[in-house]
A and B are shown apart, each in its own frame.
Chain A
Amino acid sequence: MRHVLAVVDDTGGASGVIAVAGAMAEVLRADVREVRIAVGSGGRDVETAVLHELEQKGTILGVLADGTLPGDVSWRVVRRSTKPVILLPSRMRTPEASRKVISRVLLPLDGSPEAAAAVTETAGLFTRTGVDLVVLHVFDQVTTPRCWDQAAHARQAWEEEFLARHCAHPGVRMELRSGVVEEQVVNVAVEEYVDLITLGWSRRIGRGRARTVRRIVADADVPVMLIPMTRRAAPPPPP
């Protein structure tokens, strides 16, 4: 039996976690399994317990509220888990604020093969189950293309190739932005009314991309699914 693990505690985030876990379970055609953390449990114990549940064979992914578990347990779990984890930003702790269905997902991709590889299976799953998938790429000082010859033709050519390399699933829509990645991810999530942000991440707290991920989780109005990157690939080619 496959299930989505809902990690709930007594601090008020439970209903949101359960709602998101239920919505994801519907997409994944899985059940929800709740794991309740008692108030007063030690951080290390909670981390161990949650990771143990996550690593169970039937667990597809876990859902946690950011910042409610003792210490920095949520991030420690995310860092050590080999399975995807959805973090609920702190502002989403009420059932009213939680999405009941996942119908549109934002998938920010930085153009690296690692990030694309991490999310490709999930992206395929979303598109197969009718979820509207919006791929976002943000041009910054590092990722801005060398040339952009003509605004209509260049966009078409660039987008076509980016999707072919990084998210070759039917029906995917692409958004491009320029600026600070975390800000643009949060902005586009609002503009596009997405129900979930899905990110591939290196699981290394403190590195550039991880900082970006933490900012997104802190500022987003929707749950953020973090999919650990496990595959090492060649250096990212442009775009």
Chain B
Amino acid sequence: MDDPHHRPYDRTFEAVMFDWYATGVPGGACAVPIRRRVAMLRAAGVDVVVMGDGDRDTVGGEPRARPDGPGRLWLCVRGGDGGPTEGGPDDGAEAVRAVLVSLAERGVGAGLILIIGDRFGPPGRGTLGGSIPLIPEMARATAVSVGPEPGGSPPEVLHLGGGPATLLSLLDRQVRRRRHRRTPGVDDDPAWTIRETGGDPARHRVTEALFTLGAGGFATRGSVEEPTPGSVPLVLAAGIYTGGGAGQHLLPGPLWTGLLLDPPPEEDLRTLDLRSGVLTREETGHTPPVRMLRLACVSRPGVVAMRAEAGAGRLRAGSPLRPPPEGQVTEGRLDGHSWARVAAGRAGMAAVAAQRVGRDDGVRTLERIAAYVADPARRPVLRDAAAALEAAERAGFDRLLAEQRAAWAARWEDVDVSIPDDPAAQLAVRFALFQLWNNVDRRDEVAVGARGLSGGGYAGHVFWDADVFVLPAVASMRPAEAGAMVAYRLRRLAAARARAAAVDCAGARFPWESAATGDDVTPESGHLGGEAVPILTGQLEEHITADIAWAAVHHARWSGDRGFLDGPARPLLIETARYWASRCQVDDEGGAHLGDVIGPDEYHEAVTDNAFTNVMARWNLRRAADLVGPDHAEGRRWRALADRLVDGYHPASGLYEQFAGYFRLEPLTMEQVAVPPVAADLLLGRKRLAATQIIKQPDVLMLHHLVPEEAEAGSLERNLDFYGPRTAHGSSLSPAITACLLSRAGRPDEALDLLRVALALDLDDLTGTTATGLHMATLGGVWQALLTGFAGARVGDDGILRLDPRLPTAWGSLGLRFRCLGRRVRLDITRESVDVWTDGELWLRLDAAEARRLDGPARLPRRRE
């Protein structure tokens, strides 16, 4: 049965491609109607592709009227003597390919193209035989034949017949859909879309986190629009906290996605389109279906927009802004728009929203645009939000959507992954990149909590996750945002100084958990399962101070900003070194020690000389000494102290002892406990575990990851062999970074096994807690595993990008795009060679070869693997 609401051509397309002569203006016919539609489509923002015969001037002359419009007009010439020939070189096919590339640059995939032609020919004739060449890249396009097709049409072409009249009708539908604000869709490209059918109730809140959309420091969870039991809709803003002490948490803002749907959809398909940064929903089993599309505008910070539609009796818009679950809410009207503001202490978040309700063909439509502002220190200014809303309204929804697609296309042009042999991993890595962008999108200062802005979990507190796991990924994606992450720490240096002073130390000591002010907000107690335990990390997990210094240096190295360390970051490096200098205790034999600390392995608390902490402190002291120069007396003392800091290295075994006394613990391995990853502390209990060598996550090995130059040459492999079997991976931070280390140790197949755990951590909710927010450190770790692990990409102080690729057996090639040293870099890695492209001069060293200057494309042969 023909359902008018499910016809494949009754969707909103972003581009329409048709044949001028065969289907538009057959010989002798009047061209005026078709010209008018072309003009209307372009004015509405639709790209139009006209295919014609002859030369470009002839084709170009046919549509004649070319009014300015956001929609572009392409004129494509069919090849040769009136039709492309099958299998041979084909101008028409090449022209279509060029159009597809151009559309893709604006984020429009083939699935958003409507092709209208005739003479597509019978099945088996081939897809190049018709009036529009159906090249393989257009497989997801909707192709319609309005010609007679006496021999039948290919299966991928919908035959409507009706000639030019049908063509005009199809074009009119597109114009009408835009005028009536119908809900657009996405290109259902499996390489770019995460889909959820909503069939499993246990996944609902997980999906809310996975489908978070964020931009400009604001993010909206992907909750469904109608009130739903258990649903946790949230709008959060980076750095906007409420509450005090350990209870400090992100302030929920006014909600903008709420609708009333009666009855609510029983089944639906929700699609997160990574390529264009939009979330869609389509009801199944009901006609007309509920449809929705929403986005958080990348190019307009704080602006969000949605369209929705449903049967006329089912959809009620209600107020465009709804109160969040907590906070003091005030509401009102401003210039005809609704506003709502949430205040908590000095912080606040406000939104101004507009909406339009319409009707088309038995369907009620809704368009809603809102603009958010937030301020951590004072009441946010409504007028700022109103101005942003007004500008967005002037542009219109279609324009916002086009901007969104283009902005995301530009992101993916710079940063992306290609794993032809592993499409599932490729999609999951893209998801990681997507959510890193969503959650870290601010250039002034950005506080990246453990769960980002995707949920209330971990209260938005900022851990070393941000500095060591997220920042290195962001540094290769968005250098400015990585700088904003460092800025968050720099602006809280005063609090870190106060913390150091409070424990009778000099310099600056950063908090284990940080929020608005930079004071420590670590809770003092918690539960290991049912066991109430004191939480000592706030007091003892001190390595974060060196981690933050490391993050500043890492940002400077990858961005190529040589002035950063001597400028803005200089006080941070110096003050953290001062802290370590005052914190170390020197024994009678001259050895320097750090007692009573917790390393990354949190199963062993209050230990002495944790190798990771000591080596990071040593690195911090040396780095600061380098910065101040040899003439600086304090710097000379730092260097001398660094040289005396014990690191637990045993030359005979090649092992670092994780802390003093670790080797005397019961030599239990995970083989005797359970299959990792597992929270071994819940399984064995805190005390029992502390007496064994089981560790939560890489500890010694983290120094091989962060500061390999500080580790003994060749010690990675031996320490990996020793600590690997003892690692429970009971921290979500563990699998991705261990994958990175395994790659570096020449064990890429094992690395891939662990990478898959990291890739599934949120997508498959392996921890059972993704509902409360995405694990940002894992997302960052995933990208590090690709870039630093498999590709072996590192940047030193010399401004040279080093590559040392190690591909797993299952991958024949790995393509990476990233930012480095102010350049855009593309790698296509195989076992034989590495194809490199840069958009400017870049010094690069592959494997052990000499560094060479590159600018543009180059193929570099591999020396080994």
Measured CB to CB, the residues of A under 8 A from B are: 113, 139, 141, 144-158, 160-162, 164-165, 168, 175-178, 234, 237-239
Distance A51 CA – B681 CA, assembled complex (angstroms) = 46
**Listed residue (B528, B677, B729, B768) with the most chain A CB atoms within 10 angstroms of its CB:** B768
**Residues in chain A near residue B458, CB distance under 8 A:** 149-150, 153, 157
Decide yes or no whether B370 CB sits under 8 A from chain A.
no
Q: Which of B198-206, B334-342, B402-410, B714-722 contacts A (4 or more CB under 8 A)?
A: B198-206
With A153-B450, A238-B768 known to touch, is A145 a contact of B679 (CB < 8 Å)?
Answer: yes
B777: nearest chain-A partner, CB-CB? A149
- B543 → chain A closest CB, angstroms: 15
Question: Within B195-238, which residues are at the interface with A (CB < 8 Å)?
Answer: 200-203, 205, 229-230
User: When each residue 726-738 of chain B gets 1 if its CB lies under 8 Å from chain A and 0 otherwise, what string results?
Assistant: 0001111100000
**Residues in chain B near residue A144, CB distance under 8 A:** 674, 678-679, 682-683
Decide yes or no whether B459 CB sits under 8 A from chain A.
yes
**Residues in chain B near residue A165, CB distance under 8 A:** 201-202
Q: Can you report 23 residue pairs joining A to B where beta carbons are below 8 Å apart?
A: A139-B682, A141-B683, A144-B679, A146-B729, A146-B766, A147-B677, A147-B766, A148-B679, A148-B682, A149-B731, A150-B535, A151-B535, A152-B527, A156-B457, A157-B769, A161-B771, A162-B768, A168-B229, A168-B230, A178-B528, A234-B200, A237-B200, A239-B768
| Contacts A144-B674, A144-B683 known; 5 new A-B pairs at CB < 8 A | A141-B674, A144-B678, A147-B679, A150-B537, A151-B525
- A204 → chain B closest CB, angstroms: 24
- B804 → chain A closest CB, angstroms: 30
Decide yes or no whether B531 CB sits under 8 A from chain A.
yes
B534: nearest chain-A partner, CB-CB? A151
- B501 → chain A closest CB, angstroms: 26
Whether B229 and A157, one on each chain, are in contact in the complex, defined by CB atoms closer than 8 angstroms, is no
- B202 → chain A closest CB, angstroms: 5
Whether A153 and B768, one on each chain, are in contact in the complex, defined by CB atoms closer than 8 angstroms, is no
**Residues in chain A near residue B732, CB distance under 8 A:** 147, 149
Decide yes or no whether B530 CB sits under 8 A from chain A.
yes
Question: Within B486-523, which residues are at the interface with A (CB < 8 Å)?
Answer: 523
**Residues in chain A near residue B679, CB distance under 8 A:** 144-148
Whether A238 and B767, one on each chain, are in contact in the complex, defined by CB atoms closer than 8 angstroms, is yes
Distance A177 CA – B768 CA, assembled complex (angstroms) = 17
Whether A146 and B677, one on each chain, are in contact in the complex, defined by CB atoms closer than 8 angstroms, is yes
**Residues in chain A near residue B539, CB distance under 8 A:** none
**Residues in chain B near residue A177, CB distance under 8 A:** 529-530
A234: nearest chain-B partner, CB-CB? B200
With A147-B730, A148-B681, A164-B230 known to touch, is A157 a contact of B530 (CB < 8 Å)?
Answer: no
Whether A153 and B733, one on each chain, are in contact in the complex, defined by CB atoms closer than 8 angstroms, is no
Distance A239 CA – B201 CA, assembled complex (angstroms) = 13
User: When each residue 536-548 of chain B gets 1 if its CB lies under 8 Å from chain A and 0 otherwise, what string results?
Assistant: 0100000000000
Decide yes or no whether B269 CB sits under 8 A from chain A.
no
Distance A141 CA – B670 CA, assembled complex (angstroms) = 13
**Residues in chain A near residue B771, CB distance under 8 A:** 157, 160-161, 164
**Residues in chain A near residue B533, CB distance under 8 A:** 151
Whether A164 and B526, one on each chain, are in contact in the complex, defined by CB atoms closer than 8 angstroms, is no
Whether B733 and A149, one on each chain, are in contact in the complex, defined by CB atoms closer than 8 angstroms, is yes
Distance A147 CA – B730 CA, assembled complex (angstroms) = 4
A165: nearest chain-B partner, CB-CB? B202
Decide yes or no whether B685 CB sits under 8 A from chain A.
yes
Distance A214 CA – B767 CA, assembled complex (angstroms) = 31
**Residues in chain A near residue B203, CB distance under 8 A:** 237
Decide yes or no whether B156 CB sits under 8 A from chain A.
no
A-B complex: 3 closest residue pairs judged by Cβ atoms:
A151-B526, A152-B526, A239-B768
Whether A145 and B230, one on each chain, are in contact in the complex, defined by CB atoms closer than 8 angstroms, is no
Whether B202 and A157, one on each chain, are in contact in the complex, defined by CB atoms closer than 8 angstroms, is no
Whether B461 and A153, one on each chain, are in contact in the complex, defined by CB atoms closer than 8 angstroms, is yes
Decide yes or no whether B384 CB sits under 8 A from chain A.
no
For B772, give its contact among A146, A161, A234 (CB under 8 Å).
A161
**Listed residue (B203, B246, B682, B769) with the most chain A CB atoms within 10 angstroms of its CB:** B769
- A173 → chain B closest CB, angstroms: 12
Whether A153 and B767, one on each chain, are in contact in the complex, defined by CB atoms closer than 8 angstroms, is no
Distance A176 CA – B523 CA, assembled complex (angstroms) = 19
- B273 → chain A closest CB, angstroms: 25
Decide yes or no whether B765 CB sits under 8 A from chain A.
yes
**Residues in chain B near residue A178, CB distance under 8 A:** 528-531, 682-683, 685
**Residues in chain B near residue A161, CB distance under 8 A:** 205, 768-769, 771-772
Whether A145 and B205, one on each chain, are in contact in the complex, defined by CB atoms closer than 8 angstroms, is no
B524: nearest chain-A partner, CB-CB? A152
User: When each residue 664-700 of chain B gets 1 if its CB lies under 8 Å from chain A and 0 otherwise, what string results?
Assistant: 0000000000100111011101000000000000000
Distance A187 CA – B459 CA, assembled complex (angstroms) = 33
- B114 → chain A closest CB, angstroms: 39
- A33 → chain B closest CB, angstroms: 35
Distance A120 CA – B501 CA, assembled complex (angstroms) = 54
- B333 → chain A closest CB, angstroms: 35
- A183 → chain B closest CB, angstroms: 13
Distance A153 CA – B681 CA, assembled complex (angstroms) = 15
- A5 → chain B closest CB, angstroms: 33
Whether B526 and A155, one on each chain, are in contact in the complex, defined by CB atoms closer than 8 angstroms, is yes
**Residues in chain B near residue A154, CB distance under 8 A:** 526, 769
For A157, give its contact among B230, B733, B772 (CB under 8 Å).
B772
**Residues in chain A near residue B733, CB distance under 8 A:** 149
With A153-B450, A161-B205, A168-B229 known to touch, is A145 a contact of B526 (CB < 8 Å)?
Answer: no
For B535, give its contact among A145, A152, A238 (CB under 8 Å).
A152
Distance A234 CA – B685 CA, assembled complex (angstroms) = 31
Whether A164 and B205, one on each chain, are in contact in the complex, defined by CB atoms closer than 8 angstroms, is yes
For B202, give its contact among A113, A151, A155 (CB under 8 Å).
A113
A175: nearest chain-B partner, CB-CB? B530
For A153, give its contact among B205, B457, B530 (CB under 8 Å).
B457
Distance A164 CA – B678 CA, assembled complex (angstroms) = 23
Whether B529 and A146, one on each chain, are in contact in the complex, defined by CB atoms closer than 8 angstroms, is no
Whether A151 and B527, one on each chain, are in contact in the complex, defined by CB atoms closer than 8 angstroms, is yes
User: When each residue 163-205 of chain B gets 1 if its CB lies under 8 Å from chain A and 0 otherwise, what string results?
Assistant: 0000000000000000000000000000000000000111101
**Residues in chain A near residue B731, CB distance under 8 A:** 147, 149
Whether B766 and A153, one on each chain, are in contact in the complex, defined by CB atoms closer than 8 angstroms, is no
Distance A43 CA – B457 CA, assembled complex (angstroms) = 56
Whether B730 and A148, one on each chain, are in contact in the complex, defined by CB atoms closer than 8 angstroms, is yes
**Residues in chain A near residue B525, CB distance under 8 A:** 151-152
- A200 → chain B closest CB, angstroms: 16
**Listed residue (B203, B529, B678, B682) with the most chain A CB atoms within 10 angstroms of its CB:** B529
Distance A203 CA – B201 CA, assembled complex (angstroms) = 25
User: When each residue 457-486 of chain B gets 1 if its CB lies under 8 Å from chain A and 0 otherwise, what string results?
Assistant: 111010000000000000000000000000
**Listed residue (A141, A146, A239) with the most chain B CB atoms within 10 angstroms of its CB:** A146
Distance A150 CA – B246 CA, assembled complex (angstroms) = 13
**Residues in chain B near residue A168, CB distance under 8 A:** 229-230
Whether B528 and A158, one on each chain, are in contact in the complex, defined by CB atoms closer than 8 angstroms, is no
Distance A151 CA – B205 CA, assembled complex (angstroms) = 22
Distance A158 CA – B201 CA, assembled complex (angstroms) = 16
